[in-house]
Amino acid sequence: MALRRCWRLTGAVPRLLWNNTILCETCVPGGRGSVSGCVSTRPVYKNTELLFRTFSSTPASTDVSYERLKELLAGRKAVVIDVREPWELREYGFIPGSINIPLGQVNTALQLGPEEFNEKYGGELPQQTDNIVFTCLAGIRSKTALDTAVTLGYKDVQHYPGGWQGWVKNEQHK
């Protein structure tokens, strides 16, 4: 019975929600029936990221341009964390002024005490209100590090989507 009521309402369910969850009149305040029989999860579709982004605590704009990253480094207004492995920095190079914390260590590193962080990574532990910019080789791992920092309560976090490859390309054009 509840399922029949759900199907009658499918035309009224917004497309974004329809792609992920079917809700019916028994699920809303004042509706009839029980909640247990009316929520049906469906396979995840293309709008899922948009749906979660809407309710995410991640800032809407997290990308930093090359020019902005240069400004932040020059003014020492951000902590730049490179999440590549140490061998990658030795082989390819690194952005001057950045701290190397491999992606697998970001969660633990951001929870260390200030002295232990400084000893292990050679820089100051960023405060939860500090501006942090994550970078990597091509912008994929830095986005993961950004998400990790947000879950740990860091407020002003961004990433440089160009990564080391974008940095080198821009530096060579100067």
Segment 95-135, tens digit of pLDDT: 999 999 999 999 999 999 999 999 999 999 999 999 999 99
The architecture of the domain spanning 66-172 is 3-Layer(aba) Sandwich (3.40)
Predicted local distance difference test score (pLDDT) of residue 75? 93
Segment 61-92, tens digit of pLDDT: 689 999 999 999 999 999 999 999 999 999 99
Q: Do the beta carbons of residue 167 and residue 160 sit within 8 Å?
A: yes
| Sheet order of strands, 79-82 included | 99-100, 79-82, 131-135, 156-159
Residue 103 phi, psi dihedral angles, 5° rounding: -50, -40
Q: Where are the domains positioned within the chain? A: 2-55, 66-172
Give CA–CA dist 89/87, Å, rounded.
5
pTM of the model: 0.66
Task: Please give the structure tokens belonging to residue 160.
Answer: 């440089």
Q: Do the beta carbons of residue 79 and residue 128 sit within 8 Å?
A: no
Portion of the chain with pLDDT greater than 90, in percent = 62
Give the model's confidence band at 17: pLDDT under 50 very low, under 70 low, under 90 confident, else very high: very low
Q: Do the beta carbons of residue 73 and residue 80 sit within 8 Å?
A: yes
Q: Do the beta carbons of residue 136 and residue 164 sit within 8 Å?
A: yes
Backbone CA torsion sign across 124, 126, 131, 137: positive
Catalytic residues: 136
- Residue from 111, 108, 81 nearest 95 by CA: 81
Residue 18 identity = W
Looking at every residue in the chain, the average pLDDT score rounds to 77
Give the model's confidence band at 173: pLDDT under 50 very low, under 70 low, under 90 confident, else very high: confident
Measured in whole angstroms, the distance separating CA 143 from the mean position of its chain's CA atoms is 5
Which helix (H) or strand (E) segment holds residue 107: the answer is: helix 106-109
Predicted local distance difference test score (pLDDT) of residue 44? 40
